[in-house]
Chains A and B, each alone.
Chain A
Amino acid sequence: MWGIIRQKVGTGGISAPSMQRIRPAVSAWRSYSSSGKEMTVRDALNSALDEEMSADPKVYVMGEEVGEYQGAYKITKGLLDKYGPERVVDTPITEAGFAGIGVGSAYYGLRPVIEFMTFNFSMQAIDHIINSAAKSNYMSAGQINVPIVFRGPNGAAAGVGAQHSQCYAAWYASCPGLKVLAPYSSEDARGLLKAAIRDPDPVVFLENELLYGESFPVSAEVLDSSFCLPIGKAKIERAGKDVTITAFSKMVGYALKVINLRSIRPLDRATINASVRKTNRLVTVEEGFAQHGVGAEICTSVIEDSFGYLDAPVERISGADVPTPYAANLERMAFPQVEDIVRAAQRACFRSVPMAAAA
């Protein structure tokens, strides 16, 4: 069935859903792992950076507090000791300046990984991301490519207020010349960051602060230093029969049967459309604002490519159309919760009575 409701469970299986007690249960994934290692997203990112810096001396990290402070969110912990201050560069609080320096060094052939403490601060550097990085290969007809990665936490955290909570996926993903990735699990984090660093084009890598501490199972393949995920391929976390739900980053943890986009640009339209052609219904989920958002793009793409297959209107679940409030109750209302996704899925299935979930 369409058991998209999840509860924090210690063992496998989904019991009958109880709407009132629904909470996002990211850690419920743990229950589905076979034996083996687990890794936090933080460690996944750290290890990916470490391995890529070890493999290629042109890779370096630059940003505020990445060195001596070990990283504002400890993502770059230990790298300064290992690689030294020439390759792990602490900057003043000057995003426009250091983003530009990063892009200039990429013009020359280095492979910078520029950290924004959050992507809210990337707006100060956005001219360099778009005009200096994204467009250069095109304007120079291939003479100047820019193998840079801009990474950092994106979207809401908890209680950090309006200026520190915006999701920039839609902004960056609208720009040709950029690649935009959004990992969810530790496997995503490792594989996509490695792919981003190895990629010859500028990549915006949108992490999530609240996921850094979450643990996910990782196979031996994921742990290998050569592990890499393809850019532009979504992952069907679990296939559903009744409705296609797309999500990225933290929102992936809010739905059980969901397409984890992984890549916002390029968007894996093929996977999304193939799924909708089977389920005939679509719900998109994102933290960001609805207008001109990622969901708007996916809905339109499905209408363009698979209109005849739709049995219900497409629907996007997104953040409330407000700057993020501070008060805890208001903040909770400002972002999609599991119950919002359930309601939307039900609407898509024209059912309003909860049905017993059967695997």
Chain B
Amino acid sequence: MSLIHRSSGLLKPLAAGPASLLRRPFSSATDDDATKITVETSVPFTGHRIDPPSRTIDTTPKELMTFFVDMARMRRMEIAADSLYKSKLIRGFCHLYDGQEAVAVGMEAAITRKDCIITAYRDHCIFLGRGGTLLEAFAELMGRKAGCSKGKGGSMHFYKKDGGFYGGHGIVGAQVPLGCGLAFAQKYSKEDHVTFALYGDGAANQGQLFEALNMAALWDLPAILVCENNHYGMGTAEWRAAKSPAYYKRGDYVPGLKVDGMDVFAVKQACKFAKEHVLKNGPIILEMDTYRYHGHSMSDPGSTYRTRDEISGVRQERDPIERIRKLILSHDIASEKELKDIEKKARKEVDEAIAQAKESPMPEPSELFTNVYVKDHGVE
């Protein structure tokens, strides 16, 4: 992101000079909200059957810091989950999101908790963005009572209905018709809210996606289909799976937008634009160009189908947290040390949550038979 312009009543426009001379400590938040910072997205948006939104976006120091804190927390959570899995405290499947944080955070910044999000199995960070806690996440991963699904769901089945998060789904592509169903219900209930249905480049070829998209377009449902294109469906690169990997164009008659998914401001702008669009015009597709550092899951090293150079290249050039760090530093919103302290704090938060989660017991044996039904007519 390039620095374009900063306006503030209190500071002289910065031409050059060591950042430390004019740095304000972040803790003095008096005019952080009033300070407007204008940024530009890394690349312009590309539209399919639609005029894309502007790549120039206004933000505030507060927002920048919030983005950093949130993404740092998500990053830490996923790294910690990696260790927990290797120490066999997490079992089964564990699909990590590190690298893709900008999508979760940028989306949240554009919407409310009355809007709905539904996604596939790479759901830990979306859960956090919707208001889920680290404790609920780690306890669920470790199959404990304090988990968001009381230990009965596991990594792929996090939910937070009161935060507008409808899971957490293990069957590739199923979440897209489900998400269109949420949008159907929102329209049926005459609410001015929308649903974001997230899916990967792997799921983008699923037939049910096109079935649901057709109906969403026919009925003008407020559904935003978000393809988190991390370029690999499990071990299969997009060019091997899709005749046309231009996922934002795959809606054909449905407009689409291609977005730099590593740029939290681009994500926010696109989601804001999409929300306004679908409330008037029916569905839209957003393709988030993103990347996952980990393999598909913890059983996949992620390096047999991609080079280590590619992975480290993305980390160096496009990491979403580094982008924000650079912005914060270049605008003197906080110092390097302050940012490091925030990361340390995130680490501490995560460690504490893990410790607490470890204290949580496994579910009672009687829980085996609960929640099969809401209204049980007698145990079979």
Contacts and interface: CB of A to CB of B under 8 A. Distances in A.
Interface of A: 60, 86, 89, 91-92, 94, 96-110, 127-128, 131-132, 136-145, 176-177, 179, 199-201, 230-232, 265-267
Contacts of A108: 116, 166, 181-182, 185-186, 189
Contacts of B377: 179, 230-232, 266
Interface size class of B (residues with CB under 8 A): 35 or more
Contacts of B375: 199-201
A181 to B, nearest CB: 11
A97 to B, nearest CB: 3
A325 to B, nearest CB: 31
Contacts of A107: 166, 178, 181-182, 185
A98 B215 CA distance: 8
B304 to A, nearest CB: 29
Nearest to B208: A96
B371 A100 contact: no
A137 B185 contact: no
Contacts of B10: none
B251 interface: no
Given A97-B208, A131-B171, A140-B167, 11 more contacts: A92-B214, A92-B218, A94-B211, A97-B214, A101-B212, A104-B166, A104-B177, A137-B374, A143-B149, A265-B380, A266-B377
Interface string B209-222: 01110110011000
Contacts of B215: 91-92, 94, 97-98, 101
Given A143-B149, A144-B167, A200-B375, A109 B157 contact: no
A117 to B, nearest CB: 16
B150 to A, nearest CB: 4
Contact of B182 (A105, A141, A231): A105
Interface string B165-180: 0111111001011111
B118 interface: yes
Contacts of A60: 188
Interface string B190-225: 000000000000000001101110110011000000
22 contacts: A60-B188, A91-B215, A92-B218, A98-B177, A105-B188, A107-B166, A107-B181, A109-B185, A127-B174, A128-B174, A131-B170, A132-B169, A138-B372, A139-B149, A140-B149, A140-B159, A140-B168, A141-B152, A142-B370, A143-B160, A200-B373, A265-B380
A107 B176 CA distance: 13
Contacts of B174: 100, 127-128, 131-132
A102 B181 contact: yes
A144 B161 contact: yes
Contacts of B170: 131
Contacts of A267: 380
Contacts of B218: 92
Contacts of B207: 96
B358 to A, nearest CB: 20
A141 B184 contact: no
Contacts of A98: 177, 211, 215
A98 B378 CA distance: 31
B283 to A, nearest CB: 12
B153 interface: yes
A86 B188 contact: yes
A128 B206 CA distance: 14
Interface of B: 116, 118, 149-153, 157, 159-161, 166-171, 174, 176-186, 188-189, 207-208, 210-212, 214-215, 218-219, 370-375, 377-378, 380
A201 B181 contact: no
Contacts of A137: 371-374
A141 B150 contact: yes
A98 B168 CA distance: 20
B81 to A, nearest CB: 19
A138 B371 contact: yes
Nearest to B368: A138
B188 A104 contact: no
Contacts of A140: 149, 153, 157, 159, 161, 167-168, 371
B132 to A, nearest CB: 12
Contacts of A143: 149, 159-161
A138 B212 contact: no
B149 A100 contact: no
Candidate in B178, B189, B210 with the most chain A CB atoms within 10 angstroms: B178
Nearest to B156: A139
Contacts of A86: 188
A127 B364 CA distance: 29
A330 B374 CA distance: 44
B208 A144 contact: no
B214 A100 contact: no
A141 B317 CA distance: 41
Contacts of B186: 108
A60 B179 CA distance: 18
A155 B158 CA distance: 38
Contacts of B161: 140, 143-144
A104 B157 contact: no
Contact of A105 (B152, B184, B380): B184
Contacts of A99: 177
A145 B374 contact: yes
A60 B189 CA distance: 12
A114 B180 CA distance: 15
A103 B171 CA distance: 14
B141 to A, nearest CB: 14
B113 to A, nearest CB: 14
A50 to B, nearest CB: 19
A101 B372 contact: no
A100 B374 contact: no
B249 to A, nearest CB: 20
Contact of A100 (B168, B177, B370): B177
Contacts of A139: 149, 152-153, 157, 159, 167-168
Nearest to A201: B373
Given A141-B153, A232-B378, A132 B178 contact: yes
A230 B157 CA distance: 32
A100 B181 contact: yes
Contact of B118 (A102, A104, A179): A104
A104 B153 contact: no
Contacts of A136: 167
B162 to A, nearest CB: 8
Contacts of B166: 104, 107-108, 144
A100 to B, nearest CB: 2
A177 to B, nearest CB: 6
A267 B378 CA distance: 10
Contacts of B184: 101, 104-105, 110
Contacts of B179: 104
